[in-house]
Each structure stands twice: as C-alpha cells, then as structure tokens.
Amino acid sequence: MSTQSALLGDTFTNAEPKNQKILIVDDFDNVRKSIKGMLHELGYEYVYEAGEANSAMKAIKEINFSLILCDFNLGKGRDGARLLEEWRVKKLIGQETVFVMITADTSRELVTSTLEFEPDDYLAKPFAMDVLAGRLERWFERRRVLLPLLVCAEQAQWPELCQLAREIEEEHPRYRSFAQKMYAESLIEQEKLTEAENFLLGLLEQRYQSWVKIDLHEIEFIQNKYAAAAKGLKEVLVNESTAMAAYDLLARIYKETENRMELQALLEKAIVKAPRNIRRNLDLARVAKQNLDMHRSNKAYKAAIALAEGTMHEELGNYQKLVDGLETESELGDSTENRKREIYKDLMFVSKKMSERFPGNINARLFNVALKIRKAESEDQSTLNPKLDELYKELFSNIDQVIPDTAFYIAETFYFNGRFEDADEIVKRLRVQFKGDEEFKERLDELQADPVSIAKRKEAHDLNVQGIEKYKRKEYVESLELFAKALRISPNHPGMILNFVQSKLQTLRTLANPTDDVKKCSELLQRIDHLPEQHYQYDRYAKLRKTVKKIIQES
C-alpha cells in the first residue's frame, strides 16, 4: 500500500454522489434553486442553501460539507472570499471540503483578488448542467488524490509531504505540477536549499513556470542575496503582471533593505492588480506614512477599513491610525484649504463611525475625547485643562483595557497641550503596561524625546537634510545655521542634536575663545543623556560627549 493510500482514509473512498453533502451560498433565491435543481438531477440528494453569510456560518457549524458553492457577492457584510478566509482560519472547514467560488463578475481585478484566497476553483455564472457535471467529477477526483498532501502541509509534516508529492507526481500526471510545487516548498521548509534549488532548476529547463522562478528567488532571499532576488522577481512580473506571490516576496526584500520609496511604488502596483487585499492596503498605508505621503496613506487606510468592515480583520486601531493620518495631512504645508475642510469632515465621519462600529468600547470613547480636545481650536488652555484632567483620570482608571494606539494618541495630546509632566507619567505607565512590545516602546521613546507633530518633524527633517548636504561639502557655518533652525522646531531630536554638535566642533578651530560654544554643546548633549546603549545613535553620542568633555577639561 502506498503512503498516499495509507493516509487518505475513507473520506472520499468509493464516495457516491448521493452521499456528498453540498452547500450553496448565494443571495439570490432563484440562483440557489436553479443550482440545487441541477445537483438533484445529477444524483446529489443532500443539498443545503444559505442566502447570506450568517446563515452559511450556522450551516457549516452543524454539517460537514464535501462541497461548498459560494457566490462572491453576498450583499451587505462578508463576501464569499472573506467567508472562505474566516472558515479556514477558525478551522470551521477542513482540507476535505472543496470550496468553489461562483460569480457573474469575471473582471480581472476581482478574479485576481479572489484567487489570492485560494479557493479550489472559480466558476463563472451562468453555467449549464453539463459544465457543472464535468466540474463536479474533477473537483472530487482532485480532492481524493490531493487530500493527504494537503493534510501533511497543514500539519507541517514536511518529510511525509516530500514522499507523498513524489508518489502523486508519478501516479497522477494530471496533478504533477501541483505535486512538484508542494515538493519544492517542503524542501525549502526543511532548509534543504541546495536540493530544492537543483530540483527547481531542473523543472525550469523543461519549461518556464512563474512559481518555479519565485521559489528560486525565495531561496536567494533566505540566503540574503537580495539584489539577485529583486532583479529576478521584476523579470517575473514583466512576464506575468498578476503573479501576486512575486509582489509579496519583492515587498519583503524592500522591507529588509529599508527601501521604502520602492516598497510604496510596488504596493501601489500590486493593489491595482488585486485591490481587495486588506493586509497589502495596510502595508501601503504604513509605508506611505513613513514616506510622509499622508494622502496616499489615508487613502489606503480607508480602503482597508472598508474591506474589513464586518470581517475578522476589523480593528479599532486602524480607525485610530486613519484619524492620526488625517490630522497629519491637514498640518502638512501642502494641504490646500479645500482639502483641509474635506479632511475635517473625514475626521468627524471616522470618529462617528468608530463609535458606531465599537459601541461601548472604552478605547473608542477615550480616543474620541482626546480628538475633541485636539480639535477644540477656539478654546483656550484654561478651558481645556479641566477636560484634560478628566481624560487623565479616566485613562488611569481604565489603563488595563487601553490598546497601544489609544494610549499613544492620548500621550501625544498631553504633550501637544504642554502638559509635559502628565504626559511623561502616562509614558512611564505605558512602558510598564506594554513591556513586551518593543516596537511600541520605541515609539514612546521617540515621542518623549521629541514631542512634536509629524508635520513639524517633516519641517525639521527637511532642514536637517539640507544641513547634512552643507556639512558634506565642508560648509560648516551654513550647516550649523540649518541644524540650529531644525532644533528650534524639534529641540530634543537625538540626530539633530548630534549633527549640530558635530558641526559646531568643526567651527571651533576658527574661534579664539570657544568656551561658550563648547558649553552649549555640552548642554545639548545633556538633553539626550537618556539614550540607551542599544540606540542606533548611542555610539556617536558617546564619542561626541567624550570629545566635548575633553575640550572643557583642557580649556
């Protein structure tokens, strides 16, 4: 008996059509009745219907289906692709269930987006009974053959998968390509990279297949051969512009090499091809924000929020990130007055939507209170202080329930209103609250060291960049002026302080009595004496501090 037969079990062995349980999910009653009628004529007795996501969810919890025929568009709420994703993540359907997406919309963007969720097949409506009959035979045969392979992959049984894949490749030529793909990926998972590379190169000699090229570039990525992998992946995308796995691997390379501008451009192209991918929209939102392209960032957050509504991906934090991004866009100098008015309307809409989607949620409430305080431009500080006092009290009363985005926004609000001691106390408490979240702690460190808005940071950043260019040309006096302007905007930024000190030290040799200037450098360095040793600027800080101390001792 082969390994395949031993692992298969009797789920599909000698299964007759009348024994298969089939679920039809479609929001049109006449469509469900039509498909059900075809199935009955073909001998399938156990056929069930669901008209929307919730009734479909109820059905799969009660019955183990062999086949699900699901329309993509199910009206308001989750679509067919989101249902498939949720059912798989929550283990509500297993590998033995065949899931087929059916839809009348065959646009390239929808098809590409849907195929990313990896349904077993995609069937365009309307279809005739003879077409359905042929597909049914194919679906069940494919599942009978590939089920043990899929189970091994799900359970990460890579050696067993390798053996099974070889058997299927030999015994079932129709599924050879799928078996070869699983075999190569199992070798990579086992870190047998040389063996995987030789196998893939052998396949490539026979004929071009994009997945083979992508797997080869995955091996290069693992080996840190980023330039070669990036070049090859770009060639794949020239040949096959909808190879979404190539976009994702290339995005990983750009993240690893911190090539943010290229990453943003790549994600924008990928989203045009497959616009319904929530994760990719969120990645674009984040990298566009890093690039200070706030309009594009906010557009991506809006898309992600709209796609996630009513699904397992809906998160309060994304609403809050959008609010923060809209505020930043409004503050940036390139926003017109009309755009600022639009942004204000967007802010109020998102705030209202947040409350509606998360009623009774303490994070939504606290965040919206902070937002109202920040938007109360007509009120003076004496009027705002009692509101800030109340927010401070309520925050600490509910500190164990607060999520990072809420916490950070409130801390910012106190800094922006000049309540530095309160803000520092909030940051101190949050470091304890989220002690395991290193990325969040870094954000808190940056906020405490440089508590200014992103718009102000951008202005200071631009001056700092100009100063660096002057310094490179040994125009130290000019660079010093630019660094000084940057520090007036962002007085506690470690990099800018160090740039100023370094430029100032370069000008000391031209001065007869540099004592005051050296003392100024010493005072600036004291602002950042809180830098931890693991900070990327620490070594530079320590070196400059030693130099300044030595000059003071010798003067």
Closest Cα to residue 278, out of 93, 81, 123? 81
* Residue 451: inside a domain: no
Q: Quote the pLDDT of residue 513.
A: 65
* Domain boundary pick from 129, 153, 177: 153
* Residue 244: inside a domain: no
Residues 200 and 211: their CA atoms lie apart, in Å, by 10
Chain segment 184-211, per-residue pLDDT in tens: 999 999 999 999 999 999 999 999 999 9
Q: Quote the pLDDT of residue 233.
A: 98
Residues 185 and 201: their CA atoms lie apart, in Å, by 14
Both tokens assigned to 136: 């049914």
Closest Cα to residue 446, out of 433, 466, 461, 463? 461
Q: Are the beta carbons of 470 and 478 closer than 8 angstroms? A: yes
Q: At residue 162, what is the residue type? A: C
Both tokens assigned to 539: 């070594």
Both tokens assigned to 492: 């506690």
Q: Quote the pLDDT of residue 12.
A: 45
Torsion, Cα 121 127 129 134, to 10 degrees, reads -30
Residues 271 and 157: their CA atoms lie apart, in Å, by 33
Residue identified by tokens 């999520």 is 403
Classify residue 2 by its DSSP letter: -
Residues 343 and 332: their CA atoms lie apart, in Å, by 12
> Sign (positive/negative) of CA torsion 486, 488, 494, 499?
positive
Q: Are the beta carbons of 423 and 438 closer than 8 angstroms? A: no
* Domain boundary pick from 153, 171, 206: 153
Instruction: Write down the H helix ranges in 376-527.
Output: 381-397, 404-416, 420-433, 438-449, 454-472, 476-489, 494-507, 515-527
What are the angstrom distances between the C-alpha of 155 and each of 247, 493, 526?
Answer: 27, 49, 55
Residue identified by tokens 């789920």 is 11
* Residue 473: inside a domain: yes
* Residue 385: inside a domain: no
Closest Cα to residue 218, out of 250, 241, 264? 250
Q: At residue 103, what is the residue type? A: T
Q: Quote the pLDDT of residue 205.
A: 95
Question: In what helix (H) or strand (E) does residue 377 lie, and over which residues does it extend?
Answer: none
* Residue 350: inside a domain: no
Q: Are the beta carbons of 328 and 454 closer than 8 angstroms? A: yes
Tally of domains within the chain? 2
Task: Tell whether omega for the bond before 126 is within 30 degrees of 0, i.e. cis.
Answer: yes
Residue identified by tokens 């992998």 is 229
Residues 259 and 298: their CA atoms lie apart, in Å, by 21
For the chain, give percent helix, strand, coil, nearest 5.
70, 5, 25
Question: In what helix (H) or strand (E) does residue 304 lie, and over which residues does it extend?
Answer: helix 294-308
Domain CATH number, residue 32: 3.40.50.2300
How many CB atoms are located within 10 Å of the residue 442 CB? 11
Residues 219 and 207: their CA atoms lie apart, in Å, by 20
> Sign (positive/negative) of CA torsion 417, 418, 422, 426?
positive
Residues 145 and 5: their CA atoms lie apart, in Å, by 9
Closest Cα to residue 468, out of 499, 498, 493? 499
* Residue 106: inside a domain: yes
Residues 431 and 426: their CA atoms lie apart, in Å, by 9
The CA R_g of the chain, rounded to the nearest whole Å, is 30
Torsion, Cα 15 18 23 29, to 10 degrees, reads 160
Model's pTM, two decimal places? 0.80
Q: Quote the pLDDT of residue 107.
A: 85
Domain CATH number, residue 544: 1.25.40.10
* Domain boundary pick from 123, 153, 183: 153
> Sign (positive/negative) of CA torsion 417, 490, 286, 377?
positive
Name residues of the chain where pLDDT drops below 50.
Answer: 1-14
Q: Which domain holds residue 129?
A: 19-153
* Residue 13: inside a domain: no
* Residue 80: inside a domain: yes
Classify residue 276 by its DSSP letter: T
Burial class (CB in 10 A: 0-12, 13-18, 19+), 198: exposed
